[in-house]
Amino acid sequence: MARSAQPVSSLPGVAAALLVAALILGTLAAVALRAEAGHGFSSSDWAALKFTLTQAVLSAVISVGLAVPVARALARRRFKGRSLLIALLGAPFILPVIVAILGLLQVFGRSGWISEVLVYFGASPIRIYGLHGVVLAHVFFNLPLATRLILQGWQEVPSERFRLAAQLGCHGWSLFRLIELPMLKRILPGALVVIFAICLTSFAVALTLGGGPRATTIELAIYQAFTYDFDLGRAALLSALQLALTAAAAFAALKLSRGEGFGAGLDRAIQRWDGGTPILDSFWIILAAVFLLLPLSAVALSGVAGLFSLPFLVIKSALISVGVASASTIILLLLALPMAAAIAVRRHSPVELAGILGLAASPLVIGTGLFIIIRPWANPTDLALPVTALVNAAMALPFALRILVPAAKDTVSRHGRLALSLDMEGWVFFTRVFIPRMRPQIGFAAGLAAALSMGDLGVIALFADPEIATLPLQIYRLMGAYKMEAAAGGALLLLVLSMSLFWLLDRGGRWHAEA
Amino acid sequence: MLKLESCIIANGAFQLHANVSMEAGSSVAVIGPSGAGKSTLLEAIAGFRQISKGHVSWMGQDLTELAPGKRPIAMLFQDGNLFPHLTAEQNAALGLRPSGKLSKTEQAQVSAALERVGLAGMGTRKPAELSGGQQSRVALARVLVQHRDLLLLDEPSPHLAQP
């Protein structure tokens, strides 16, 4: 039929989307059915809800509040290493949470660098555990994201407008009110709600820096209901609560945010004539850079010592992690590529909806659901690794599609006609045109998926038994046993492995790729 | 004989009525101001545009419902005639087999076609390593090996100097 002539069928993509929807909605249904509403929420559940909301609001407000001056400074200053710093702002996205936490502990912890200085001057050391520790870690992760989102807003202000303002003699406060405030009003709500949504599902940070009745997130409470009490009904009830929260937040985030372009074009500095105060700008840039780099340097410094005397357990878990990350990446590509193709040939399809479904559910909620589904059939701990790989892939899917879909649309619109005239359809088009043309994006998405899976400390904590662990979980266990040197060595290994996997896949995709 | 019988081709608000027949073996030039519907006509014949009424046929065979690749037609577009990630040889080979996997004799046909358009020895180059005119000639070589009954050219040779 000439009408719907498309070089590639949308059927495999629809099938993949159905699988994803079945996985996510199925687990959610399992959770909802199992939730024991009769129990009602206990006071500790309400406390968890309150803490979850409090820390998410604080993290969002502080991250965004600090990001405004940093982004403003980055937008109007040009200096050596500027583009490197901006690239570095993208790194926390793929940074394993446990690595960052170890670094933060070494800088801000009770026996960390700052505490040592304080003690030296007779002050008491910092207490990092609790609300402020959780918020600190969240700001560490989300300040860069907020900075990138806001910087994007600044870059999108047409340079003519700054020129006009300069001609009118506008500067300082009046320039801010004329040009920058309207832009911030447009950008900030989206940035706030995105970070709020991310912090809602915080698990690893709350697990390591929170805990106790006064610093437990819902995600952590699910885990505790599982591991301490093995109370599936309560875990499911909490999951239902968490689901309502994350779905609402994800919906609001999608409505308010316009999506980050993953940093494309952010390295362009706008020419401005108002000058501003260079010292203040430098202060903010240096502060942000130090805040980001200090914990990472701490991990590198303390890890080197342990790196060459790693216990066998750590090596073994590292191998397991690489295996899980590879499997997760393959699953992701098997789902995302057909879905991207389907979205490219049929606009506004439900496939797109299935693609963002993952944003509405949190890993532990899906984990809980899978546990409930698997238990009648098999021992869930036997399936810990496949389940981890699968859930990691599902969680990476929305990000992967965001990277792949624009390139897929471009490939189909640019080469579809020629391919059709040569009778290249279906599999032939997919392998000979679609995949080769999208290699850079496929590499980037695969790198992202691999690094995210490598650093994930979530579902695996729910499913694993003492015999088996991924590297992040192993590091967490070592920290719990106060084997800090081995933990630091493991963290450095994890950091190196995650970044190498990302780099290899991303580079591999761009290798000899013609524009 | 290529026949368009009381065809109506819609392109947005634009409508083209075509009622024309052309003899096999003839060369036909379609001339008109821009926006007259020259490309729309070619796209409809090649199968890229839906015909809302009427029939297209070739030697009595109705083409109206056939997919573009199944029609006895080779087409060169204004641009985008080559895949940038494939070599000249691989691009030309697609004219014989969409999968690009060729037998020995087919391989020889491709080489001969490239030689005929003056690109002998350049088969391993990718489009980016060829000039605009050379790129057009690779597409021409592909059309040669395609051996289709009809060749549609939609202003394909802005770069093509006298060979």
pLDDT (tens, 9 = 90+) of chain A, 515 residues, equals: 334 568 888 888 889 999 999 998 888 888 888 877 666 778 888 889 999 999 999 999 999 999 999 998 888 888 888 888 888 888 888 899 999 999 999 898 877 888 888 888 888 777 888 898 999 999 999 999 999 889 888 888 777 777 777 777 777 777 788 888 888 888 898 889 889 988 988 888 998 898 777 889 998 998 888 888 878 888 888 888 888 888 888 888 777 765 544 444 455 555 565 556 678 888 889 999 999 889 989 988 888 888 888 888 899 999 999 999 999 999 999 999 999 999 988 865 788 888 888 887 888 888 888 988 998 888 888 888 999 999 999 999 998 998 899 899 889 888 888 888 888 888 888 888 899 999 999 999 999 999 999 999 988 888 888 888 999 999 999 988 888 888 999 999 999 999 999 999 988 887 766 54
Query: Residue A249 in contact with residue A193, Cβ under 8 Å?
Result: yes
Considering CB atoms only, which of B66, B70, B85 is closest to A514?
Answer: B85
Residues in chain A: 515
Considering CB atoms only, which of B46, B86, B99 is closest to A421?
Answer: B46
Residues in chain B: 163
Asked whether the beta carbons of residue B94 and residue A514 sit closer than 8 angstroms, the reply is no
For residues B113 and B90, give the distance between their C-alpha atoms in angstroms, rounded to a whole number: 12
Which residues of chain B does A428 touch, with a Cβ-Cβ cutoff of 8 Å?
98-99
What Cα–Cα distance (Å) separates residue A101 from each residue in A222, A325, A499?
21, 21, 17
Neighbours of A378 (CB within 10 A): 9
Residue A1 has a pLDDT of 36
CA distance A240 to chain B (A): 49
For residues A246 and A259, give the distance between their C-alpha atoms in angstroms, rounded to a whole number: 18
Considering CB atoms only, which of A5, A421, A515 is closest to B75?
Answer: A421
Which residues of chain A does B64 touch, with a Cβ-Cβ cutoff of 8 Å?
2
According to DSSP, the β-strands at B2-11 and B14-22 are antiparallel
Name A140's bridge partners: none
Considering CB atoms only, which of A1, A422, A437 is closest to B98?
Answer: A422
Which residues of chain A does B73 touch, with a Cβ-Cβ cutoff of 8 Å?
421
Residues of chain B with pLDDT under 70: 156-163
Helix, strand, or coil (residue B151): strand
Name B74's bridge partners: B151
CA distance A484 to chain B (A): 50
Query: Which chain A residue has the Cα nearest residue B129?
Result: A514
Written as six digits, the tokens of A97 are: 């949470």
Asked whether the beta carbons of residue A417 and residue B80 sit closer than 8 angstroms, the reply is yes
What letter represents residue A434's amino acid?
Answer: F
Query: Residue A65 in contact with residue A274, Cβ under 8 Å?
Result: no
Query: Residue A151 in contact with residue A71, Cβ under 8 Å?
Result: yes
What letter represents residue A343's amino acid?
Answer: I
Which residues of chain B does A436 touch, with a Cβ-Cβ cutoff of 8 Å?
83, 85-86
Disruptive mutation site among B45, B83, B143 for chain A (greatest number of A CBs within 10 Å): B83
Disruptive mutation site among A413, A418, A427 for chain B (greatest number of B CBs within 10 Å): A418
Disruptive mutation site among B55, B57, B62, B94 for chain A (greatest number of A CBs within 10 Å): B94
Number of A/B CB contacts below 8 angstroms equals: 80
Residue A480 has a pLDDT of 87
Half-sphere exposure of B38 (CA within 13 A, CB side): 14
For residues A481 and A165, give the distance between their C-alpha atoms in angstroms, rounded to a whole number: 60
Contacts of A282 (CB under 8 A, 6+ apart): A73, A77
Delineate the domains of chain A, giving CATH numbers in brackets.
11-32+45-510 (1.10.3720.10)
Tell me the residues of B at the A interface, defined by beta carbons under 8 Å apart. 46-51, 64-70, 73-75, 77, 80-86, 94-95, 98-100, 126-128, 142
Name B3's bridge partners: B21, B57
Considering CB atoms only, which of A5, A414, A433 is closest to B67?
Answer: A5
What letter represents residue B69's amino acid?
Answer: G
Measuring CA to CA, which residue among A346, A338, A324, A357 is closest to residue A404? A338
